[in-house]
Amino acid sequence: MNTDIVAGNWKQFKGKIVEQWGRLTDDDLDIAAGRREQIAGKLQERYGIAEDEAERQIKDFEDRYKDRVFR
């Protein structure tokens, strides 16, 4: 994921994250500020999943929304 692109579209991206993972708070996402590793860490914390599972979910999410969010 290109973090410059995410930073440019952070508000739109943030909304999609909240739709996907409702347990993540605005504070979680503000702290993450588009950094993939921070988002993965928050997913692990909030959902009790392993690092590889968090990474897989993020990859699936990116693949699903890349045409809409990451342009």
Reply yes or no on whether the pLDDT at 71 is more than 50: no
Set out the domains of the chain in order of their start, with CATH numbers: 3-69 (1.10.1470.10)
Per-residue model confidence (pLDDT) at position 56 = 96
Q: pLDDT grade, residue 3 (50/70/90)?
A: low
- pLDDT tens, position by position, 14-68: 888 999 999 999 899 888 887 888 999 999 999 999 999 999 999 998 888 777 6
pLDDT at 12: 77
Q: What is the DSSP string of 4-69?
A: HHHHHTHHHHHHHHHHH-TTS-HHHHHHHTT-HHHHHHHHHHHH---HHHHHHHHHHHHHHHHHHH
pLDDT at 64: 86
